[in-house]
Structure 1
Amino acid sequence: MEQSIKIQAVIPIPEDQILIEKVELERLKSLELQGRYWSMQDLEERINKKREWIKENILYKPKFKMILDVNNGGFVYYPEKKGQNWSFQANKMAHFLDKNFSEIFSS
Structure 2
Amino acid sequence: MQRLTLQLTIPIPAESVLISRVELEELRKQELLGIYWSMQDLERRVNKGQVWIKENILYQPRFKKILDVEQGGFVFYPKSRGQNWSFHAAKMAEFLDKRFADIFTSFADKESGK
Query: TM-score, structure 2 length as denominator?
Result: 0.91
- Which 4+ stretches in 1 moved above 2 angstroms? none
Q: State the alpha-carbon separation in 2 of the partners of residues 90 and 5 from structure 1.
A: 49
Aligned residue in 2 for 1:6: 5
Aligned residue in 2 for 1:32: 31
* Alignment deviations for residues 49-83 of structure 1 (CA, whole Å, 9 cap, x no partner): 00000000000000100000011010000000011
| Other structure's SS at 2:19 match | coil
Q: State the alpha-carbon separation in 1 of the partners of residues 49 and 14 from structure 2.
A: 41
Q: State the alpha-carbon separation in 2 of the partners of residues 37 and 48 from structure 1.
A: 18
> Gapped runs of 5+ residues in structure 2?
110-114
Q: CA RMSD in A?
A: 0.6
The answer to whether residue 68 in structure 2 is matched with residue 76 in structure 1 is no
Query: TM-score, structure 1 length as denominator?
Result: 0.97
Letter in 2 for 1:54: I
Aligned residue in 1 for 2:89: 90
**Percent identical:** 61
Letter in 2 for 1:91: A
Q: State the alpha-carbon separation in 2 of the partners of residues 23 and 47 from structure 1.
A: 24
Report the Cα offset of residue 4 of structure 1: 2.1
